[in-house]
Amino acid sequence: MEVKHANSECLELEIKWFAQVCEARFDLYFKQDSDTQNVALDIEEICPAPDIGGFDAPYANIVREYHMDFSERIILMLAFIPHLRPQVLDMFMLQNSVLARPYSEIGGYRGKNHMGFLPSCETAAFILAGTDLSRRFRVLELFQDNHFFAHAGILKLDHQSAGEPFFSAALSLSNEYLQRLSDGEIHKPDFNTHFPAKLMKTQLAWENLVLNPEVMDEVQNIVTWLQRPPQWMKDWGLDKSVKPGYRSLFYGPPGTGKTLTASLIGKAVGRDVYRIDLSMLVSKYIGETEKNLAGVFDQAQSKNWILFFDEADALFGKRTQTSSSNDRHANQEISYLLQRVEDFPGVVILATNLKANIDTAFARRFQSEVYFAMPDPVQRQRLWRGMFMQSERIGPDVDFQSISETYELSGGALLNVARYAAIRAVRNQREYLSQEDLIAGIGRELMKDGKTL
């Protein structure tokens, strides 16, 4: 059976069951004349969950993967149903005729454009518990951080206003699981205002990276940490005293390989590396920066991603003396960042050109600080030769040793020189590079720093 067809059949069965559960709860709660008037009955006894074990479909596979019970399947469908068949929830828009307003115990809210009912945690508690307090407390457990709904990033809870009851939080399905439940595909998150991060990829390999042995040793420590399963911390008796995450600071002049190293670490261990766009993360409005950062960390919490903050001093800078409300706000942002970075169970890499600008509170919490120095003449020669692997493209007058010893350039600057030199050769209708092409490119790079040949 085709996957999409099987998933549709499975979901039709689940939707029918979910609608029956909702109708039964309304009958029980409002004591209509029906066969379900006994409010002492467990809703699960009235409408047992259908057997979907025979379906090889995305929805059924995820239910099996997490061994979901009756309550968990109801909550999953409650979050999914607005995307599938929103009219099923129309019954929840019932108005209290005495008070001329919706029933507070049903919860829910209206969207800006969506015409139907959107659920909250209160809606889930109403369906599963009714007026039974003990069952209501059991429902509360399903929304805790240690439950797979939160740990795996299946559900999103949006608490609109501080101080309001926990169950008032809007309940929705994460974009990732909306896709997985629909077509079974695991989609990478797209760069947008709600996820200001870009997936980093590289076609290069370790042999294309020229670093000092000391730097490579620190990098291998990060790789080793990532390659080991979490269990090894318990085996060494460190799980109670050492937090599961790993934080590293990459610092040094621009173009020395910090970004490429982060990409290669991810490539070596099969992890996605996301580069955080600080321009979209930082906001002048109070609380917005923390909210934006929370969105990134919340999505990354259970994904085994590596988070890479480039030019991190813009976000993780030193705290200042509080002489104004702006200073207090900035210091609160840094304190919040410190907390989230320290609590993140994955790897966080901060990169900066100026280590002195990083707040010392962060520096104390780094597991490693890796200095990316400017390449020496021998390393520069290796970089030059690594860029031009095709010997027929190198003219007879090219002397890599000479230019490596004469001109101090970073690896990133060498790439710019190589590109310019190749363009110059093509414009002059040559199939090879000349020494003059390279010198001209070097001159352009030196001019950027106010230097001359």
Task: Please state the φ and ψ torsions of residue 376, each to the nearest 5 degrees.
Answer: -80, 175
Instruction: Identify whether residues 134 and 255 lie together within a single domain.
Output: no
Question: DSSP readout, 13-53?
Answer: HHHHHHHHHHHHHHHHHHT-SSTT--TTS-HHHHSPPP--T
Cα 109 from Cα 14, distance rounded (Å): 23
How high is the pLDDT of residue 235?
A: 79
Cα 438 from Cα 366, distance rounded (Å): 40
Cα 425 from Cα 98, distance rounded (Å): 84
Which helix (H) or strand (E) segment is 249 a member of? Answer: strand 246-251
Instruction: Identify whether residues 323 and 273 lie together within a single domain.
Output: yes
Instruction: Please count the CA atoms within 13 angstroms of the CA of 250 that sit on its side-chain side.
Output: 29
> Tens of pLDDT along 47-85?
999 999 999 999 999 999 999 999 999 999 999 999 999
In the block, which residue shows the tokens 């920066």? 289
How high is the pLDDT of residue 328?
A: 55
* Paired residues of 306 in beta bridges: 273, 347
In a domain, 189, yes or no: no
Instruction: Identify whether residues 150 and 24 lie together within a single domain.
Output: yes
Instruction: Please count the CA atoms within 13 angstroms of the CA of 240 that sit on its side-chain side.
Output: 1
**Domain termination site, one of 371, 406, 434:** 371
Contacts of 256 (CB under 8 A, 6+ apart): 372, 373, 374, 375, 410, 411, 412
Cα 60 from Cα 6, distance rounded (Å): 10
Q: Is 423 helix (H, G, I), strand (E, B) or coil?
A: helix
In a domain, 219, yes or no: yes
In a domain, 190, yes or no: no
Cα 322 from Cα 148, distance rounded (Å): 41
In a domain, 387, yes or no: yes
Judge contact between 406 and 443, C-beta under 8 A: no
Instruction: Identify whether residues 328 and 390 lie together within a single domain.
Output: no
Which helix (H) or strand (E) segment is 171 a member of? Answer: strand 170-173
Q: Is 158 helix (H, G, I), strand (E, B) or coil?
A: strand
How high is the pLDDT of residue 32?
A: 55
Instruction: Identify whether residues 26 and 112 lie together within a single domain.
Output: yes
Cα 232 from Cα 237, distance rounded (Å): 9
Judge contact between 36 and 24, C-beta under 8 A: yes
How high is the pLDDT of residue 21?
A: 96
Nearest to 25 by CA among 5, 8, 47, 6: 47
Instruction: Identify whether residues 367 and 389 lie together within a single domain.
Output: no
**Domain termination site, one of 371, 404, 432:** 371
In a domain, 191, yes or no: no
Distances (CA, A) of 287 to 291, 334, 337, 361: 6, 12, 12, 21
**Domain termination site, one of 319, 351, 371:** 371
The identity of residue 213, as a single letter, is P
How high is the pLDDT of residue 376?
A: 93
Instruction: Identify whether residues 69 and 18 lie together within a single domain.
Output: yes
Cα 154 from Cα 173, distance rounded (Å): 6
Residues of the chain with pLDDT under 50: 33-34, 36-40, 319, 321-322, 327
> Tens of pLDDT along 344-371?
888 999 898 888 777 776 777 788 999 9
In the block, which residue shows the tokens 């280590």? 355
Domain span at 320: 197-371
Nearest to 62 by CA among 146, 137, 155, 141: 155
Instruction: Give the distance, in angstroms, between the CA of residue 145 and the centroid of all CA atoms in the same chain.
Output: 17
CATH of the domain at 394: 1.10.8.60
CATH of the domain at 294: 3.40.50.300
Instruction: Identify whether residues 310 and 432 lie together within a single domain.
Output: no
Instruction: Identify whether residues 62 and 108 lie together within a single domain.
Output: yes
In a domain, 71, yes or no: yes
Instruction: Identify whether residues 366 and 381 lie together within a single domain.
Output: no
In a domain, 192, yes or no: no
In a domain, 170, yes or no: yes
How high is the pLDDT of residue 190?
A: 65
Instruction: Identify whether residues 217 and 284 lie together within a single domain.
Output: yes
Q: Which DSSP letter does residue 187 get?
A: P
How high is the pLDDT of residue 129?
A: 94
Instruction: Identify whether residues 139 and 9 lie together within a single domain.
Output: yes
Distances (CA, A) of 327 to 286, 320, 323: 11, 7, 6
Number of structural domains in the chain: 3
Distances (CA, A) of 190 to 156, 176, 195, 288, 293: 17, 11, 7, 20, 16
Measured in residues, the chain has a length of: 453
How high is the pLDDT of residue 37?
A: 46
Which helix (H) or strand (E) segment is 173 a member of? Answer: strand 170-173
